[in-house]
Amino acid sequence: MAKIRKRIQTSRLNSIKSLMIIYFTTIIILGMLFTGISLYEKFNSTSQAYANRVVDQLLTQVKYSLDTYTRNMMNISNTLYYKIIKKQNISTYNFSGEMNVIQTTNNDIASLVLFKSNGELVANSQYAKLKEDAEVTNQDWFRNALARPENIHFSNPHKQELFEGYDQWVISLSRAVTLNEDGKIIQGVLLVDMNMRGIETICGAISEDDAGSIYILSDNGEIIYGDKEQLDLYSEQLSYKEDGNYIRIIEDQRILFTVKTAGYTGWKIVATWRLDKILFTYAELNNFLIVVLFIGMVMSIIGTLVISSRLSSPLYKLQKSMKLVEEGKLDIQIDEGGEYIAAQLSRSFNNMVSKIKELMDKIVQEQDDKRKKELEVLQSQINPHFLYNTLDSIIWLAESDKTEEAIMMITALSRFFRIGISSGRSIITVREELEHARNYLSIQKIRYKKRFEFEVIANEDLLSAMTLKLILQPLIENALYHGIEYITDKGMITITASKEEDTLIYQIKDNGVGMTEETLEKLLDKEQEIKTKGSGVGVKNVNERIKLYYGQDYGMKVESRLEEGTTITIKIPLTYT
């Protein structure tokens, strides 16, 4: 009977899988066909606009880079003139040092030279040694600078042949400048030669792509950058030279021309793009759709198999998770996927586990809160008992005409309770905690008629650290009542605060009577009762407070020997506000 039932379930599962494969595959294929046809039609209407926009953005970036490049050259010229040349006497000041520094820090500069209006050399950079037979005044850039002194002039690319050992292609930036020669104002020309590396860097990456090329033309049509022979093929198409995008048919190819004008120089930036290289053709798109359709069919079959397997896998995961809960592992959540019923079961299971964990956490929290309140009640017992004893001592001092000691005791008592209250805060600074302990010891020192001395030592950088309030005073009280009180010699209590890596270390050391091994073992045992004098807040209660707030890794360690004294070490996390 069980075998028959299993066969029925298997056949139903196979039927569902077959139907899902057929339905999903059909829907996906129809959807892909519709999408493909729609995309192809849309592609025809938007591809051209997209190409125009992309190319225009690219050329805008090139224009911006070229403007930045030329502006940098202009800034160098301005800096050299306004900050150096205009303020110095050319007869006594050597400008070559500044020129060498500027050229060294800018790889795009080929040479920096300063001439008088008659062509006489005034200063030059280290790589610009003028030839003896050089005719400077015949150079176009020289004549243009003097003819129009109000402008900065950019030349066309040319081979610079004025300097020895130097014949590279450059673009010359020249300007007329006023020079001070022993108090006499004369005309001069400042020359900044830019090598072609900067422009090649800006345009080279685009020109290397066979889909497009980029050219730079001067305002009179002379080529500054680009393949001149290739550009001659487009000369007729570029006769307009207006900024914008243009499509022309050249040798049966659709060519997209984009033209922009550089701002500082008036140069024309021209980009040519073969649209068949940057756009899909019909055949490419057709092949692409076929491949996508085939991949979609394969994925639809795989997807339906995966989906069918999800019908049973959530139930298996649910069963496995229930076993983990039985073992006490409540930090689990199972996937709520799968068919509707399985998803509902998974969701209910997750909600059940979350509520169980929430209730357990609530119980633990309530227990912790209860312990906190109990410890706070114990902590509060210190106030009336200690206050009674201290006020009694103040009255006795006043009656004995020991006014100064009474005032000191009242002051210490005031500071003691101000820190103890701390506006209801449980966490205070180490400075406040040590001050609280110091005030307590000051009061007790008067009450004990100076039968003991004390010392508080702390690293300065620890005083701003944060600590649990009132963990030192009960331990000091324990040292007084159970150690110092029973010795004949003068007592000594030392309190130190230090750090070890990320841990704050308190240490309370006394030279009292100490304690036996048996008493030492019972001291921190929760199950043992030890009668105490004073506030009733014992050492183990302080230890419980520390562990409650900071965790079981922190707490106290007590070391003691009879007739030698006791040392209590407290470890808590080192934290700052």
Could you give phi then psi for residue 499, rounded to 5 degrees?
A: -135, 150
- The CATH number of residue 184's host domain is 3.30.450.20
Boundary-marking domain end, from 195, 211, 229: 195
Domain of 335 in residue numbering reads as 314-374
Query: In the prediction, which pLDDT does 340 show?
Result: 63
* Residues 356, 399 within the same domain: no
Q: Are 511 and 565 in contact (CB under 8 A)?
A: yes
**Who's near 264: CB < 8 A, 6+ residues apart?**
67, 70, 71, 74, 154
* Residues 390, 421 within the same domain: yes
Q: Which amino acid, 79?
A: T
Query: What distance in Å separates the CA atoms of residue 11 and residue 72, rounded to the nearest whole number?
Result: 79
Query: In the prediction, which pLDDT does 18 show?
Result: 61
Q: What is the dihedral of CA 226, 231, 236, 240, to 10 degrees?
A: -10
**Who's near 474: CB < 8 A, 6+ residues apart?**
382, 535, 537, 538, 539, 541, 542
Query: In the prediction, which pLDDT does 377 show?
Result: 42
In 3D, which of 136, 139, 127, 131 has the Cα closest to residue 102?
A: 127
- Tokens representing 322 are 């229930």
* Residues 507, 366 within the same domain: no
Q: By three-state DSSP, how is residue 567 classified?
A: strand
Q: Are 223 and 197 in contact (CB under 8 A)?
A: no
Give me the number of domains the chain comprises: 3
In 3D, which of 247, 243, 245 has the Cα closest to residue 262?
A: 243
* Residues 511, 392 within the same domain: yes
Question: Is 149 a domain residue?
Answer: yes
Query: What distance in Å separates the CA atoms of residue 212 and residue 40, rounded to the nearest whole number?
Result: 25
- The CATH number of residue 446's host domain is 3.30.565.10
**How buried is 185 (Cβ within 10 angstroms: 0-12 exposed, 13-18 middle, 19+ buried)?**
exposed
Question: Is 211 a domain residue?
Answer: no
Question: Is 157 a domain residue?
Answer: yes
Q: What is the pLDDT along the chain (577 residues), one digit of tens a residue?
A: 444 444 444 444 445 456 656 766 677 777 767 776 776 667 656 766 766 777 777 777 777 777 777 888 888 888 888 877 888 888 888 888 888 888 888 888 888 888 888 888 888 887 778 887 788 888 888 998 899 988 888 888 878 888 877 777 888 889 899 888 888 889 999 988 888 777 777 676 565 455 667 777 777 667 777 766 666 666 655 555 677 777 777 766 677 777 878 776 777 778 777 766 666 555 566 677 677 777 776 776 677 667 666 655 665 566 677 777 666 676 777 666 656 666 677 777 778 777 877 777 777 775 675 466 455 544 554 555 566 666 766 776 676 767 777 777 777 777 776 666 655 577 889 998 998 888 888 888 887 778 899 999 998 899 999 998 888 988 898 888 888 888 888 999 999 999 998 999 999 999 989 888 888 877 766 555 555 444 434 677 788 888 888 888 999 999 998 888 999 999 999 999 7
* Residues 464, 553 within the same domain: yes
Boundary-marking domain end, from 168, 195, 222: 195
* Residues 472, 554 within the same domain: yes
Query: What distance in Å separates the CA atoms of residue 299 and residue 227, rounded to the nearest whole number?
Result: 49
Could you give phi then psi for residue 330, rounded to 5 degrees?
A: -100, -5
The predicted model scores a pTM of 0.40
Cα angle 62-65-66, degrees, rounded to a multiple of 5: 85
Question: Is 346 a domain residue?
Answer: yes
* Residues 333, 413 within the same domain: no
- Pairing mode of beta strands 452-458, 491-500: parallel
* Residues 474, 395 within the same domain: yes
* Residues 527, 400 within the same domain: yes
Dihedral (CA of 224, 230, 232, 233) sign:
negative
* Residues 366, 495 within the same domain: no
In 3D, which of 142, 100, 101, 103 has the Cα closest to residue 121?
A: 142
Question: Is 337 a domain residue?
Answer: yes
Query: What distance in Å separates the CA atoms of residue 394 and residue 568, rounded to the nearest whole number?
Result: 31
Query: What distance in Å separates the CA atoms of residue 376 and residue 31, rounded to the nearest whole number?
Result: 71
Q: Are 334 and 318 in contact (CB under 8 A)?
A: yes
* Residues 154, 190 within the same domain: yes
Query: In the prediction, which pLDDT does 13 show?
Result: 42
Boundary-marking domain end, from 195, 221, 239: 195
* Residues 552, 418 within the same domain: yes
Question: Is 307 a domain residue?
Answer: no
